[in-house]
Structure 1
Amino acid sequence: MNDHRTHRFLGTALPALLVAGALAGGSVFVGAVVDGADRSAPTTVWAESQAKPPKDPAGDIGRGRADTDLTRKLLPVPPGYLLGPDMGEYGNDTELTGKQAIELVKAAGADYSAAVRQQVYKEIDRMGIEGLALRSYRLKGGNGQGSLTADVSLVAFQDRAAARSWYEVASQRPGASKGPVIEGGKHSACFLEPGSDVDGIESVTCVAYEGETAVTVAAEGMKPFNRSTFTELVKDQLDHLASPGESV
């Protein structure tokens, strides 16, 4: 996969999902964020809110950092995977503070009218975003399972109600095709992204929540895209989120 994918995830897709939650919270038309956003425009906050991992993160660095409460909730890199490509300026395994995450999300709403933008910013502040952890994964080649690169984000909200409200909005994707079902994923929904299966590449996004944490997994793979491999990765992340102290 190339850099445009990871730029799109952090620069547009993830912030747009969070803005959609803010729009819904403010009783503003949710479709505006999906249909009216300029998806080609880079997000200006990239140069402003860079979060670099510490020099000596706790744990096995090959499996991902685990030196904060939120990064410990990210799925350690499973057998058969490696840390994936960098997500723009943020690298492939990092955490943003609540302030940095809010800046990233607000930047996604900067193109709206002043009235809508004011409401969006107000609702974003009310959402109580406390942090954002990011990790990318790449399936090792040569194992007969095909290609797969996945970007995973965990958004920490101040309470379960906020995470649930975000999920209820993010799981409503008018016009999107239903994606694979995650076994045991009671609070999860997956979609085939519009324009998927272009140039032999399939794109899938799953959203979920557990407690006060919202999950987004955005993956791409060359066809034949092994959906069972992808759904197992998502399931493992959700299981780990429910019991982060258990090894994977």
Structure 2
Amino acid sequence: MNDDTVTATPAAPAAEPESMPAPEQPAATGPGTPDPADPATPGSRRLLRAGAATAAAALVGVAIGIGIIKTQYDDPAPATAAAPSTAPTPTASATPYGAKSNGSHFGSLRDLLLPVPAGYRPGPDDGVYGNDTELNGEQLSAELDAELQQIPKDKRDKLRSYWEGLHVKATGVRTYLSTGDDLVIGLKLRQFNQQEVQRINEYTAVFTGDTGLFRIGPSIPGHPEAHCYLMPAPPSAPIDYLECSAAEGDLLVIMNAEGVAPLPKDKIVALFTLQLDRLARPGASA
């Protein structure tokens, strides 16, 4: 999922759902829509950003997606995705990483993220996060504080309170561009309270399945906790957009895929399956 999107009512602060921002309806067209005559690669354009905005609530709750808050109260012109600023570099040392039997994960999120597989190369920067990044809880909290200054104080206090209850540890981001330049995939790992990870993931399934706003996406074999859905789009749209979400212990795993329509769903499912298998706790069967 993309993080410069809009939030809707989260499942967590159930006692006060009316106080949270409501989702915007996805726009069919806009200034960021590419000319159908120009088969632009997804790495250079973001056609369905507005559709992804509606899904943000289900993917990241209220405050865990930092960039979503700014978009709710500010409507900047759509930006063109730039090429990666630098090539991804491996972590400094071979630090152990993996999952414990209780579902908590250890090690760098950059190590837990799927390495760039055959058929792909490092993708474009994901906004301000780059294309291979890990931010710790302190960095995310500081960025949240800056963004919260742009919203009304009553909502600001509620969002801050909810954020603190999540016990956010870190976020990892990595992007992948297919060798044919026709598919961009972004993976995000968000590490926070296990119970909230599960609740937000369950809310995603309900939100995307019951509202009628989304098209049903493919299933992920061996991972019943995962669910995928496609953004609203007319049949003639040259670019399509798919998102998937899954709960793996204390990690909310989010994948967004954007490419020339029709999307190669088998390739997308295969990559997401590899990522979830990499995060599986000991003894888990795929």
Scaled by the length of structure 1, the TM-score of the pair is: 0.72
Q: Is 2:243–2:256's contact at 8 Å kept on the other side of the alignment?
A: yes
Counterparts of 1:194-233 in structure 2, within 5 Å, are 194-195=232-233, 199-233=237-271
Give me the whole-angstrom Cα distance separating, in 1, the residues matched to 2:19 and 2:261.
32
Match of 1:27 among 5, 11, 16: 16
Q: Is 1:24–1:30's contact at 8 Å kept on the other side of the alignment?
A: no
Rg: which structure is higher? 2
In structure 1, the residue matched to 2:225 is 187
CA RMSD of aligned residues (A): 3.3
Give me the whole-angstrom Cα distance separating, in 1, the residues matched to 2:234 and 2:144.
25
Number of matched residues?
Answer: 212
In structure 2, the residue matched to 1:163 is 197
Q: Deviations over 1:95-117 (max 9, x none)?
A: 01112223445666665543223
Q: CA deviation at 1:155?
A: 0.5
- CA separation of 1:129/1:56 partners in 2, compared to 1, >3 Å: closer, same or farther? closer
Q: CA deviation at 1:242?
A: 1.0
In structure 1, the residue matched to 2:109 is 70
- CA separation of 1:160/1:72 partners in 2, compared to 1, >3 Å: closer, same or farther? same
| 2:124 aligned counterpart, secondary structure | coil
Q: Does 1:80 align with 2:102?
A: no
- CA separation of 1:109/1:35 partners in 2, compared to 1, >3 Å: closer, same or farther? farther
Give me the whole-angstrom Cα distance separating, in 2, the residues matched to 1:112 and 1:119.
11
Q: Percent identity?
A: 27
Q: Deviations over 1:111-142 (max 9, x none)?
A: 5543223212211111111100000011112x
In structure 2, the residue matched to 1:12 is 5
Higher helix share: 1
Q: CA deviation at 1:197?
A: 5.8
In structure 1, the residue matched to 2:185 is 150
Give me the whole-angstrom Cα distance separating, in 2, the residues matched to 1:223 and 1:235.
21
- CA separation of 1:149/1:112 partners in 2, compared to 1, >3 Å: closer, same or farther? same
Q: Is 1:74–1:237's contact at 8 Å kept on the other side of the alignment?
A: yes
Q: Does 1:242 align with 2:277?
A: no
Give me the whole-angstrom Cα distance separating, in 1, the residues matched to 2:240 and 2:194.
32
In structure 1, the residue matched to 2:165 is 126
Give me the whole-angstrom Cα distance separating, in 2, the residues matched to 1:111 and 1:178.
35
Give me the whole-angstrom Cα distance separating, in 1, the residues matched to 2:113 and 2:276.
9
Q: Does 1:91 align with 2:84?
A: no
Q: Is 2:11–2:203's contact at 8 Å kept on the other side of the alignment?
A: no
- CA separation of 1:216/1:239 partners in 2, compared to 1, >3 Å: closer, same or farther? same
Q: CA deviation at 1:239?
A: 0.7
RCO comparison, higher one (Cα < 8 Å, 6+)? 2
Q: CA deviation at 1:57?
A: 3.4
Scaled by the length of structure 2, the TM-score of the pair is: 0.63
Q: Is 1:23–1:120's contact at 8 Å kept on the other side of the alignment?
A: no
Q: Is 1:138–1:149's contact at 8 Å kept on the other side of the alignment?
A: yes
Structure 1 gaps, min length 5: 1-7, 43-52, 60-66
Equivalent residue letter for 1:34: P
Structure 2 gaps, min length 5: 26-71, 78-87, 95-105
Q: Is 1:106–1:124's contact at 8 Å kept on the other side of the alignment?
A: no
Q: Is 1:22–1:124's contact at 8 Å kept on the other side of the alignment?
A: no
- CA separation of 1:55/1:234 partners in 2, compared to 1, >3 Å: closer, same or farther? closer
| 1:221 aligned counterpart, secondary structure | strand
